[in-house]
């Protein structure tokens, strides 16, 4: 492990990306993700990589996909409005199976909203922001160290499954500075792209531009050769395989942390910055004799519905605090399927939920 | 016939309408590639969305059919990731000048090492004939049923002003010039731009009494004025005419991916960059 | 200090360097082998808008990263005092810039008034180092980190060429903090 140091969330994202082998970044300035671009503008050319500030958010997503298809690990970082603008090309990455990492540091929306304040309103956009059914993986860090770890993991998943991976951070986690000790270089798996002769089930091998493959990459429905097709059976086969490559790996992609759940009667399900609040609230409730616990979600999509279903069997109630009006809440209700009470707690005034407001909710159920 | 090696012949015939000019432009592009001896395994051709963008399906090299308007932004990523590759963008006028206009001026401003060929038919063909920023005033389209009220862009002047370092225009009537300009564009290191007027008899011609593609080619011939001829003509004589020829060519501006490679080399203290 | 959670809030206006001061304080805690989290809140203005930095220091894990009831509140504007005083922990310490904060309502806390900005301007020579003076005052009064470690953290963060100025500011702040009678 590295020497302990104080590090900002966005900085940890940069360190994780470079550790994962990032060599191309395209972005457009937007609060509160801009530190990532600024740091990479300095760092990337020093390791032989390329940073470019594009003319807009759409173009930066496009450039990232272009660079990835040329064989380079690529990333962009943005926030709310920019994330909306990138959606069409995120869908393009999904159908063309182009590995890429998109960091979205959530701020208060919709629209310009409150640019410097935290929110968790993009959970559904991260999953369903582009049109059409599509595969996507969404990771949500709750600390500076986890921002580093999940950034490395995002690249590994993106490459191995050939999918866009969204690192769904938030203004609190991104701007917070914490004491961290980073794992040694190479300690975390970096993953690799499927290549001819070495590809996992339902992920096709990837041939990069300039390798003599003379390939066609298209956002149209295409047959296994890559050429566009409008045959219904080919379309069906393609979409089911695309979604299936993530869906079939739901359990291995699941990333949860369990806190005090062994004897819990009430469980909090939380993610991102609010998980920090929830852990404090659970501890306060337990100090007062309550039997509270927490299931923290670090991978939001694919949604760990098997974990939630198992938890709902055990507890009387699940509380879902979010800095939105109930986005993960709906997924929890769906997975709990009436096995226990599910209660949402929402705050959308730009302030991080405080532990002392959550404790009564835990005690009231 | 050497240029046929650049085509995926198993995917022909193409999807363009009878009489469409896009095949002529594509033919000029592959002949130009043959003329300059391009290495088809070190070339990536990128397109957006629209009739002309389907050209990449027929090219036997690495090809990328992207989203509407964004071909140049995708191409920018490719060029920066692999500066050793030849990157070519084929795109229509709606794609490049409307939805993708921002990427066009900024690729030109950066002098990004991309050859961009604009298939200008003055219409959105794929969506059946709406007006584009290059539809001339007065002509009828599906969305200008009373005649088009807007002025069109002079795309070559726009791109030149934005910083492109090779700029030329031709038409499908002027096939030899088209091949020559595309060949020169392919040999140029910085951002090179060739606009080619191409006929859409199906949607543009039929609404404007030129349903016969030959009439559209005649129209190109009559409208076209070379840069040299234009210098001897009065402004009123030039009204409604289209200038063709080479407008601009300079080697003095550094190509962007080379500048970035120089930066990397400077930071690593290894000298002044590779690829010299 | 015991292992429990210690919280500080530094509040004032954008441009007073309070976020930098918060970062330095957290870095000093990490250098001293302790755990620390620093967060902030700021508006769209780089200069002049409301700005606050928060630091939580502990010898154990820090779950909730924000300040709930600060042990120490530094206020560098009257508005910050009005807005944040209510959250100060009973028995906590309020440090106010004497010239910028006129009114401090009475309450169950220790109040220390120091002419922080004036010291920076007149004793040190540059108003811009008021944040470093303030850090010196805070650490002198709380001993939350050793002085030497704080100086190390200041030196590591400030722009090259300004080390002497900042060292002078820090020492002026430490001296002012020690010389102030609490009331």
E strands, chain B, in order: 43-47, 62-65, 86-92, 114-120, 123-124, 130-131, 166-171, 192-197, 224-226, 242-249
Q: Distance between CA C150 and CA C27 in Å, rounded?
A: 8
Q: Distance between CA B82 and CA B77 in Å, rounded?
A: 8
Distance from the A333 Cα atom to the nearest Cα atom in chain C, whole angstroms: 26
**Whole-model pTM above 0.90?**
yes
Torsion sign across C-alpha atoms A301, A238, A151, A79: negative
User: CB–CB of A21/A31 below 8 Å?
Assistant: no
Residues of chain B contacting residue A46, judged by C-beta atoms under 8 Å apart: 267-268
Tokens representing residue B168 in the block: 């030329």
Residues of chain C contacting residue A355, judged by C-beta atoms under 8 Å apart: 64, 68
Q: How many residues does the structure list for chain B?
A: 276
pLDDT score of C25: 98
CB nearest C64 (choices: A177, A178, A280): A280
Tokens representing residue C65 in the block: 């990263």
- The CATH H-level (homologous superfamily) assignment of domain C6-114+142-158 is Pyruvate-ferredoxin oxidoreductase, PFOR, domain III (3.40.920.10)
- pLDDT, one tens digit per residue, over B14-35 is 999 999 999 999 999 999 999 9
pLDDT score of A123: 98
Pick from C176, C175, C154, C174: nearest CA to C165: C154
Give me the phi and psi of B69, to 5 degrees please: 90, -10
Pick from A105, A103, A46, A41: nearest CA to A75: A103
Q: Say which residues have a Cβ less than 8 Å from residue A281's Cβ, sequence separation at least 6.
A: A268, A292, A355, A356, A358, A359, A362
Q: What percent of chain C has pLDDT over 90?
A: 90
Whether a cis peptide bond, with omega within 30° of 0, leads into A219 is no
Tokens representing residue A179 in the block: 């004491």
Q: What is the DSSP string of B176-242?
A: HHHHHHHHHHHH-SS-EEEEEE---IIIIIHHTT--SHHHHHHHHHHHEEEHHHHHTS-HHHHTT-E
B275 falls within a domain: no
**Does residue B275 have a pLDDT over 90?**
no
Q: Distance between CA B99 and CA A166 in Å, rounded?
A: 26
Residues of chain C contacting residue A112, judged by C-beta atoms under 8 Å apart: none
Residues of chain A contacting residue B78, judged by C-beta atoms under 8 Å apart: 66-67, 69-70, 209
Residue C71 touches chain A, beta carbons under 8 Å = no
Three-class DSSP category at C122:
helix
Pick from C155, A231, A113, A216: nearest CA to B7: A216
Tokens representing residue A42 in the block: 């300095």
B276 falls within a domain: no
User: CB–CB of A359/A284 below 8 Å?
Assistant: yes
Tokens representing residue B72 in the block: 């140049």
CB nearest A178 (choices: C37, C41, C66): C37
Pick from A12, A54, A355, A292: nearest CA to A179: A12
User: CB–CB of A320/A326 below 8 Å?
Assistant: yes
Chains that touch A (3 or more CB pairs under 8 A): B, C
Q: pLDDT class for C28, splitting at 50, 70, 90?
A: very high
CB nearest A116 (choices: C27, C35, C42): C42
CB nearest C63 (choices: A117, A179, A283): A283
User: CB–CB of B210/B201 below 8 Å?
Assistant: yes
Instruction: Tell me how crowded residue B97 is: count the other CB atoms within 10 A of its CB.
Output: 24
The mean of the pLDDT values for chain B is: 96
**Does residue C155 have a pLDDT over 90?**
yes
pLDDT score of C3: 55
**Does residue B274 have a pLDDT over 80?**
no
Domain ranges of chain A: 5-180, 257-363
pLDDT score of B272: 45
**Does residue C182 have a pLDDT over 80?**
no
Pair type for strands A341-346 and A317-322: parallel
Residues of chain C contacting residue A171, judged by C-beta atoms under 8 Å apart: none
Question: What mean pLDDT comes out for the span B66-72?
Answer: 98
**Interface touch B85/A210, C-beta < 8 Å:** yes
Chains that touch C (3 or more CB pairs under 8 A): A
Question: What mean pLDDT comes out for the span B108-114?
Answer: 98
Q: pLDDT class for C42, splitting at 50, 70, 90?
A: confident
Q: pLDDT class for B1, splitting at 50, 70, 90?
A: confident
Residue B120 touches chain A, beta carbons under 8 Å = no
CB nearest C66 (choices: A4, A177, A352): A352
Interface test with B, best of A55, A68, A213 (most B CBs within 10 A): A55
A–B CB contacts, 8 A cutoff, strictly below: 131
Q: pLDDT class for A134, splitting at 50, 70, 90?
A: very high
Burial class (CB within 10 angstroms; exposed 0-12, middle 13-18, buried 19+) of B128 = exposed
Strand order in A5-8's β-sheet? A5-8, A177-180, C35-42, C50-58, C6-13, C72-75, C93-97, C110-114
**Does residue C1 have a pLDDT over 70?**
no
**Interface touch C30/A179, C-beta < 8 Å:** yes
- pLDDT, one tens digit per residue, over A182-234 is 999 999 999 999 999 998 989 999 999 999 999 999 999 999 999 999 999 99
Q: How many domains does chain B have?
A: 1
Strand order in B242-249's β-sheet? A216-218, B62-65, B43-47, B86-92, B114-120, B192-197, B166-171, B242-249, B224-226
Residues of chain C contacting residue A115, judged by C-beta atoms under 8 Å apart: 44
In this complex, whether C and B touch, counting 3 or more CB pairs under 8 angstroms, is no
What fold, for A5-180?
Rossmann fold (3.40.50)
Q: Distance between CA C178 and CA B27 in Å, rounded?
A: 85
pLDDT score of B270: 58
Q: Distance between CA B107 and CA B100 in Å, rounded?
A: 11
Give me the phi and psi of A116, to 5 degrees please: -105, 10
Pick from C18, C17, C35: nearest CA to C26: C35
In this complex, whether A and B touch, counting 3 or more CB pairs under 8 angstroms, is yes
CB nearest C27 (choices: A6, A172, A176): A6
Q: Distance between CA B12 and CA A252 in Å, rounded?
A: 44
Instruction: Tell me how crowded residue A235 is: count the other CB atoms within 10 A of its CB.
Output: 15
Residues of chain C contacting residue A296, judged by C-beta atoms under 8 Å apart: none
Report the residue of chain B nearest A24, measured CA to CA. B81
Q: Distance between CA C178 and CA C183 in Å, rounded?
A: 13
C-alpha triplet B262, B264, B269: angle, nearest 5°? 90
**Interface touch C63/A273, C-beta < 8 Å:** no
- pLDDT, one tens digit per residue, over B206-252 is 999 999 999 999 999 999 999 999 999 999 999 989 999 999 999 99
pLDDT score of B276: 36
Residues of chain A contacting residue B85, judged by C-beta atoms under 8 Å apart: 70, 209-210
Tokens representing residue B91 in the block: 């795109």
- pLDDT, one tens digit per residue, over A14-25 is 999 999 999 999
Tokens representing residue A321 in the block: 């605090």
DSSP code of C105?
-
User: CB–CB of A85/B67 below 8 Å?
Assistant: no
Domain ranges of chain C: 6-114+142-158
DSSP code of B7?
B
C-alpha triplet C93, C97, C101: angle, nearest 5°? 100
**Does residue C181 have a pLDDT over 60?**
no
Report the residue of chain C nearest A145, measured CA to CA. C37
Question: What mean pLDDT comes out for the span C110-131?
Answer: 97
Torsion sign across C-alpha atoms B182, B183, B187, B188: negative
DSSP H/E element including A164: strand A164-170
Return the residue matching tokens 């997503």.
A61
Pick from B227, B124, B215: nearest CA to B173: B215
Domain coverage including residue B49: 2-268
Residues of chain A contacting residue C41, judged by C-beta atoms under 8 Å apart: 116-117
Evaluate whether A5-180 and A257-363 have a shared fold: yes
B273 falls within a domain: no
Q: What per-residue string of b and e applies to A2-30 under the rule 16 or more CB within 10 Å gives b?
A: eebebbbbbbbbbbbbbbbbbbbbbbbeb
Pair type for strands C6-13 and A341-346: unpaired
CA B16 to chain centre: 17
Report the residue of chain A nearest C44, measured CA to CA. A116
CB nearest A45 (choices: B56, B67, B267): B267
DSSP H/E element including A137: strand A137-139
The mean of the pLDDT values for chain C is: 94
Calculated CA dihedral for residues B95, B34, B196, A55, nearest 10 degrees: 30
- pLDDT, one tens digit per residue, over A6-65 is 999 999 999 999 999 999 999 999 999 999 999 999 999 999 999 999 999 999 999 999
Residue C43 touches chain A, beta carbons under 8 Å = yes
ipTM surpassing 0.95 = yes
C-alpha triplet A222, A225, A231: angle, nearest 5°? 35
Q: pLDDT class for A1, splitting at 50, 70, 90?
A: confident
Evaluate whether the domain defined by A257-363 bears CATH number 3.40.50.920: yes
CB nearest C35 (choices: A179, A279, A354): A179
Higher pLDDT, B270 or A331: A331
Report the residue of chain A nearest C27, measured CA to CA. A6
Q: Distance between CA B131 and CA B150 in Å, rounded?
A: 10
Domain of B118: which CATH number?
A: 3.40.50.970
Interface test with B, best of A66, A86, A97, A211 (most B CBs within 10 A): A66
Pair type for strands A100-108 and A114-118: antiparallel
């Amino acid at each position: 492990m590295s020497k302990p140091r104080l590090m900002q969330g966005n900085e940890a994202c940069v360190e994780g990306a470079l550790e994962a082998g990032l060599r191309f970044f395209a972005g457009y300035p937007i609060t509160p993700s801009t530190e990532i671009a600024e740091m990479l503008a300095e760092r990337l050319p020093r390791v032989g990589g390329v940073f470019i500030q594009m003319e807009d958010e759409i173009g930066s997503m496009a450039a990232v996909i272009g660079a990835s298809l040329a064989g380079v690990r690529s990333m962009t970082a943005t926030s709310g409005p920019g994330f909306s603008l990138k959606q069409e090309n995120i869908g393009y990455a999904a159908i063309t199976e182009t590995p890429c990492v998109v960091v979205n540091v959530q701020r208060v929306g919709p629209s310009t909203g409150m640019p410097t304040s935290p929110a968790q309103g993009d959970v559904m956009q991260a999953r369903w922001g582009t049109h059409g059914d599509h595969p996507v993986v969404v990771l949500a860090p709750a600390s500076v160290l986890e921002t580093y770890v999940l950034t490395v993991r995002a690249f590994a998943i993106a490459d191995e499954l050939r999918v866009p991976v969204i690192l769904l951070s938030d203004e609190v986690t991104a701007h917070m500075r914490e004491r961290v000790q980073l794992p040694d270089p190479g300690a975390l798996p970096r993953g690799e792209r499927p290549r001819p002769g070495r590809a996992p089930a339902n992920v096709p091998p990837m041939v990069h531009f300039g390798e003599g493959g003379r390939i066609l990459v298209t956002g149209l429905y295409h047959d296994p050769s890559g050429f566009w097709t409008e045959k219904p059976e080919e379309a069906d086969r393609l979409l089911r395989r695309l979604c299936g490559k993530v869906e079939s790996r739901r359990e291995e992609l699941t990333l949860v942390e369990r806190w005090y759940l062994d004897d819990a009667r009430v469980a909090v399900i939380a993610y991102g910055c609010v998980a920090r609040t929830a852990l404090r609230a659970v501890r306060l409730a337990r100090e007062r004799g309550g039997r509270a616990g927490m299931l923290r979600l670090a991978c939001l999509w694919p949604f760990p519905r098997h974990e939630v279903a198992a938890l709902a069997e055990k507890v009387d109630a699940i509380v879902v605090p979010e800095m939105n009006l109930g986005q993960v809440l709906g997924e929890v209700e769906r997975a709990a399927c009436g096995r226990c009470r599910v209660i949402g707690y929402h705050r959308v005034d730009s302030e991080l939920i405080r532990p002392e407001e959550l404790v009564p909710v835990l005690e009231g159920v | 016939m050497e240029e046929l090696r650049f085509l995926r012949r198993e995917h022909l015939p193409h999807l363009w309408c009878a009489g469409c000019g896009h095949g002529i432009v594509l033919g000029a592009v592959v002949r130009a590639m043959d003329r300059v001896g391009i290495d088809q395994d070190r070339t990536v051709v990128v397109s957006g969305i629209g009739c002309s963008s389907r050209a990449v399906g027929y090219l036997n090299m690495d090809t990328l059919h992207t989203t509407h308007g964004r071909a140049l932004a995708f191409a920018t990523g490719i060029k920066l990731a692999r500066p050793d590759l030849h990157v070519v963008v084929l795109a229509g006028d709606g794609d490049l000048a409307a939805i993708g206009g921002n990427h066009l001026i900024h690729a030109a401003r950066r002098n990004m090492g991309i050859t961009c060929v604009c298939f200008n038919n003055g219409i959105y063909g794929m969506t059946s004939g709406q007006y584009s920023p290059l539809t001339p005033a007065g002509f009828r389209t599906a969305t200008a049923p009373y005649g088009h009220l807007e002025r069109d862009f002079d795309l070559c002047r726009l791109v030149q002003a934005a910083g492109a370092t090779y700029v030329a225009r031709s038409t499908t009537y002027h096939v030899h010039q088209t091949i020559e300009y595309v060949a020169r564009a392919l040999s140029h290191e910085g951002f090179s731009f060739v606009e080619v007027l191409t006929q859409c008899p199906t949607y543009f011609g039929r609404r404007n009494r030129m349903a016969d593609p030959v009439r559209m080619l005649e129209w190109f011939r009559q409208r076209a004025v070379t840069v040299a001829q234009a210098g001897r003509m009065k402004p009123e004589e030039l009204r409604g005419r289209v200038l063709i020829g080479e407008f601009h060519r300079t080697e003095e501006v550094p190509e962007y991916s080379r500048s970035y490679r120089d930066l990397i080399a400077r930071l690593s203290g290894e000298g002044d960059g590779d690829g010299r | 200090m015991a292992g429990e959670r210690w919280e500080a809030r530094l509040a004032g206006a954008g441009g007073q360097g309070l976020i930098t001061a918060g970062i330095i304080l957290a870095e000093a805690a990490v250098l001293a082998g302790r755990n620390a989290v620093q967060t902030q809140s700021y508006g769209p203005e780089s200069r002049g808008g409301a700005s606050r930095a928060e630091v939580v220091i502990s010898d154990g894990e820090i779950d909730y990263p924000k300040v709930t009831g600060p042990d120490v509140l530094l206020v560098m504007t009257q508005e910050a005092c009005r807005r944040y005083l209510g959250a100060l922990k009973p028995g906590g310490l309020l440090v106010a810039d004497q010239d910028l904060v006129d009114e401090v309502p009475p309450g169950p806390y220790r109040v220390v008034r120091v002419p922080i900005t004036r010291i920076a301007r007149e004793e040190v020579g540059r108003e811009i180092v008021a944040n470093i003076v303030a850090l010196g005052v805070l650490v002198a009064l709380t001993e939350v980190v050793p002085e030497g470690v704080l100086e190390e953290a200041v030196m590591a963060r400030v722009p090259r060429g300004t080390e002497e100025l900042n060292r002078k500011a820090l020492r002026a702040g430490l001296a002012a903090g020690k010389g102030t009678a609490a009331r």
